[in-house]
């Protein structure tokens, strides 16, 4: 019997699921090895027992918690798909301001027509998570690697080194040499330094490596004239997850 796989989403742009769908031929090859029984983007089926559940998005409302726990209860393995599910992602930026204030700022007087959700939190704040595919959005190649490992009963492993190493392997010029702040020295690798190769910088969407050498990195940022508060602002875009789990 083929492993039964489902895809679910909570507060997110659903960009990670679109990345999965964009895999097209590669995903069709793997369909021979699994049965996708739930995927809202392409199917309305629901409620069956699952071997693997990929879950995208942050958890904001009590009903989200109830639904997430129901998915967990019928899934042998639950995988966080993307930054919003893994660390709460950019959704967690609402954590340090009253949500009602943010709604008024965005929608003005019409804000009262919107239901105010709670503070976005990662899946791990509510249920055990068996693995994750980090990033905003995820890297399609890495998703396939994780999925293939799960389908043959192996535990997926993420890189333990930083994006800086991938930059050097690709012989890309250091972003700091352009006087641009980059979080590559402390961000988990696996994206093949995609943003830097495209002329941007690393903004830390894959979360920090397990043991970031934050001290030396902070000193590098200070050398470029940044205050501690500015450094924290750089880190907070995708890395409020630690606080959001509380």
CATH at 52? 3.40.50.700
130 shares its domain with 181: no
Give the CA distances from residue 124 to residues 6, 68, 80, in Å, rounded to whole numbers and listed in that order: 18, 11, 8
193 shares its domain with 137: no
Domain count, the chain: 2
182 shares its domain with 61: no
Domain contains 242: no
pTM of the model: 0.87
Last residue in a domain, options 132, 152, 172: 152
Q: How far is 54 from 27, CA to CA, in rounded Å?
A: 14
Q: What is the pLDDT of residues 82-133, one digit of tens each?
A: 999 999 998 888 877 787 788 888 888 776 666 667 788 999 999 999 999 9
140 shares its domain with 169: no
Domain with 227, as residue range(s), is 163-237
218 shares its domain with 146: no
For the ranges 10-19, 26-35, 40-49, 180-189, the maximum mean pLDDT occurs at 10-19
First to last CA, the chain: 40
pLDDT over 80 at 222, yes or no: no
13 shares its domain with 129: yes
């Amino acid at each position: 019997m083929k492993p039964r796989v489902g895809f679910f989403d909570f507060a997110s742009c659903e960009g990670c699921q679109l990345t999965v769908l964009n895999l097209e031929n590669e995903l069709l090859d793997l369909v021979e090895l699994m049965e996708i029984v739930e995927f809202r983007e392409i199917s309305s089926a629901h409620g069956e027992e699952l071997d693997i559940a990929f879950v995208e998005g942050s958890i904001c409302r009590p009903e989200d918690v109830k639904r997430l726990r129901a998915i967990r209860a019928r899934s042998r393995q639950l995988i966080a798909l993307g930054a919003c599910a893994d660390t709460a992602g950019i959704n967690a930026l609402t954590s340090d301001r009253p949500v009602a204030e943010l709604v008024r700022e965005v929608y003005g007087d019409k804000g009262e027509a919107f239901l105010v959700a709670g503070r976005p939190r990662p899946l791990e704040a509510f249920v055990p998570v068996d693995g994750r595919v980090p990033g905003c959005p995820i890297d399609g190649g890495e998703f396939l690697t994780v999925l293939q490992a799960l389908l043959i009963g192996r535990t997926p492993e993420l890189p333990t080194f930083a994006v800086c190493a991938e930059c050097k392997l690709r012989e890309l010029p250091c972003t700091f040499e352009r006087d641009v702040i980059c979080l590559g020295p402390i961000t988990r690798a696996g994206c093949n330094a995609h943003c830097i190769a495209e002329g941007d910088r690393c903004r830390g969407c894959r979360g920090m490596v397990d043991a970031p050498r934050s001290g030396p990195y902070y000193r590098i940022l200070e050398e470029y004239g940044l205050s501690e508060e500015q450094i924290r602002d750089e880190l907070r875009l995708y890395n409020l997850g630690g606080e959001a789990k509380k």
